Chain A
Amino acid sequence: MTSLLRRGALWLLVGVILLSSLFPFFWMLVTSIKPDNELFTRTPRFIVTSPTVERYTHLLDGNIPTQFRNSLIVAVATTVLTGLVALLAGYAMARYRLRTRHILTVVILVTQLLPQTILVIPLFTLFRNAGMLNTYQGLTLSHLALTLGLCTFMLRSFIVDIPFELEEAAQVDGASRLRAVRSIVFPLAWPGLAASSVYAFITSWNELMFSATYMQRPEIETLPVALQQYFSSYYTDWGGVMAASVIFTIPVVIFFLLVQKRLMQGMASGAMKG
């Protein structure tokens, strides 16, 4: 009897957790497809009787496709560059007993706790002088500052777990070290690369402060900036902003679900070393 009661309580808690995790997603979606007369009701309606996609077609005729593309370019560039740079650096830190590695670790840790506000002003001046305001390159560079620290650590810990004997064997068989790294270590580090890619993509896609500062022309704006500006001027158009939010959310959620297994492994191994 008590075990039955305990099970019931456990599943009740699980239910509460699921509901509070998912409800905002559900509500965003439902709000975006409700016609206005179902939207503005004192008693919220959880079921849509006559859904409409009008807001989506309206949005897709506007600037959203361009902004979506801008966001995608910056996020993909950030992810690829982060993966490349962090993989090389992670390998060097995992395989060599560098005398400077303690300093290196501290430096990377410090980059992780820097407030964005300490970077935002000089980077603005730097980009302005270099003609890199309103460019993909500028924003991508600034996003690297946010992603590289954690991703280097993640990849380092993955590479440490790859047996060094594998590399040695390849070298005994006549491969150069570079070749051994390229054909043995990097392919095996792929789960780590997947985990750090999710992190980099999500960080870049969602980032607002740098994007709002460095991307000011409508044709180059990324989604977070565009959505924030639209919301601050038309915040009573709840259906419209919800539809835009859905479009904004879908890519990260898909990417997250595709690679979540690797991400969980990455977080679990991080937690062990905590």
Chain B
Amino acid sequence: MSPNTSGALPGRQSPRRHFTFEKQLLPWAFLTPLLAVVVGIVGYPVVRTIWLSFHDGEYLQNGPFIGLQNYRDIFANPYYTAALLRTTVFAAAVVATTILLSLAIALVLDAAPRAAKVLSVIVLLPWAMPRVASGIVWKWMFDDQYGVVNWLLVHWFGLESFNGYSWFRTGTPAMVAITVAVVWHSVPFVAVSLFAGLRGTHGEVVEAARVDGANAWQILRRIRLPMIRPLLVVMTTISTIWAYQSFDHFLVMTTPPGGPNHSTEVLSLLTWLEAFAQLDQGTAAAMAVVLFLMLSAVSVLYVRLNREDVR
């Protein structure tokens, strides 16, 4: 059983050559459960949603084929186009803030190697917090009368105008508050991943550059950041996909969902409400397909970006 004996034995290929069952059938037997889930729970719904998007679907009933009418409807719907634009701005803000903060945190962890182990556990902790719970806590912290955020802004930063400021009465400040909550939730995973990537960049190249008199900033900009660039691209992709799909924080933090007056409606929320509050599955399916196409385009774009880096 010990690994050392295997190399010494002659004909180490033989156990594999005998059984075609083990070569041909075993991998597929092992893959079957995964394939069943992928086909049944993912593949079928995707195809079905695309099919539904070309059909009338009021009251969650399958209606007649209506071609692109659902797509025309949603792009003629001012709430939908507003949500599309709002989600894009929101995603851009979340991704930019997440990547910058995560990089900063990863660099701090990297600069304190002895404490990094414990620190990275604490940094990752918010990722584990249920989004519903964190949405509620952040809403409480942004409370107009008793919230810590307003108190901090007034008493520490001297911004008197935030005295009793109501964050959720209009759209823009509500979006700012939700952005803060979502960023708090998405930074941990990205920061710890980037930290793991940065740790792999302490090598001979960095040592050589240091000997040649490069300072820490030059080493970071010219050597270490380019080395983790593929990872940065992956993290940007992941956080873009997450941000575009944001749902929980919006459902929890706004009353009524997407309110006040539709001013915080984002794509996922609008799609879900369209399907399960308005009961119009055709329109909702069209919205879902458009979001899927957008996310695919974003992913392809990032993959391209990554490939050009390598070249």
Contacts and interface: CB of A to CB of B under 8 A. Distances in A.
Interface of A: 10, 13-14, 17-18, 20-22, 24-25, 27-28, 31, 39-44, 84-86, 88-89, 91-93, 95-96, 98, 104, 107-108, 110-111, 113-126, 141-142, 144-145, 148, 152, 163, 165-166, 168-173, 176-178, 202, 205-206, 208-209, 212-213, 223-224, 227-228, 231-232, 235, 238, 241-242, 245, 248-249, 252-253, 255-257, 260, 263-264, 267-268, 270-272, 274
A205 B132 CA distance: 11
12 contacts: A24-B137, A39-B146, A84-B33, A89-B31, A89-B34, A92-B30, A114-B295, A118-B49, A125-B48, A169-B3, A170-B1, A223-B130
Contacts of A114: 42, 46, 292, 295
Contact of B284 (A42, A121, A126, A145): A121
B119 A14 contact: yes
B2 interface: yes
B200 A272 contact: yes
B229 to A, nearest CB: 10
B27 A96 contact: yes
A212 B9 CA distance: 59
Contacts, number: 289
B173 interface: no
B176 interface: no
B108 interface: yes
Contact of A22 (B105, B125, B192, B276): B125
B133 A18 contact: no
Nearest to A272: B200
A10 B38 contact: no
Contacts of A119: 41-42, 45-46, 49
B112 A274 contact: no
B37 A27 contact: no
A199 to B, nearest CB: 10
A44 B133 contact: no
Given A172-B15, A206-B131, A249-B130, A123 B41 contact: yes
A145 B45 CA distance: 11
A118 B291 contact: yes
Given A111-B42, A121-B49, A145-B41, A245 B26 contact: no
B64 interface: no
Given A24-B134, A117-B268, A271 B38 contact: no
A95 B290 CA distance: 38
Contact of B288 (A118, A173, A270): A118
Contacts of B255: 232, 235
Contacts of B141: 24, 27
A177 B310 CA distance: 39
The 5 A-B residue pairs with the shortest CB-CB distance, nearest first, are A171-B15, A122-B48, A89-B34, A122-B45, A169-B6
B26 A274 contact: no
Contacts of B6: 165-166, 168-169, 172
B140 interface: yes
Best-buried of B30, B34, B140, B196 by chain A (most CB within 10 Å): B34
A45 to B, nearest CB: 10
Nearest to A89: B34
A227 B52 contact: no
Given A22-B125, A270-B193, A14 B271 contact: no
A44 B148 contact: yes
Interface in B108-138: 108, 111-112, 115, 119-134, 136-138
Nearest to B197: A271
Given A124-B275, A163-B3, 9 more contacts: A10-B112, A14-B115, A44-B151, A114-B42, A116-B245, A116-B268, A117-B245, A117-B267, A208-B248
Interface in B265-281: 267-268, 271-272, 275-276, 281
A129 B23 CA distance: 40
Contacts of B16: 168, 171, 177
A17 B37 contact: no
Contact of B26 (A25, A148, A177, A232): A177
A202 B126 CA distance: 12
Nearest to A144: B37
Contact of B275 (A93, A107, A120, A177): A120
A264 B195 CA distance: 11
Contacts of B197: 271-272, 274
A52 to B, nearest CB: 17
Contacts of A228: 132, 251-252
Given A24-B138, A118-B292, A271 B193 contact: yes
Nearest to A260: B121
B230 interface: yes
Interface in B5-63: 5-7, 9, 12, 15-16, 19, 22-23, 26-28, 30-31, 33-34, 37-38, 41-42, 44-46, 48-49, 52, 60
Interface string B65-93: 00000000000000000000000000000
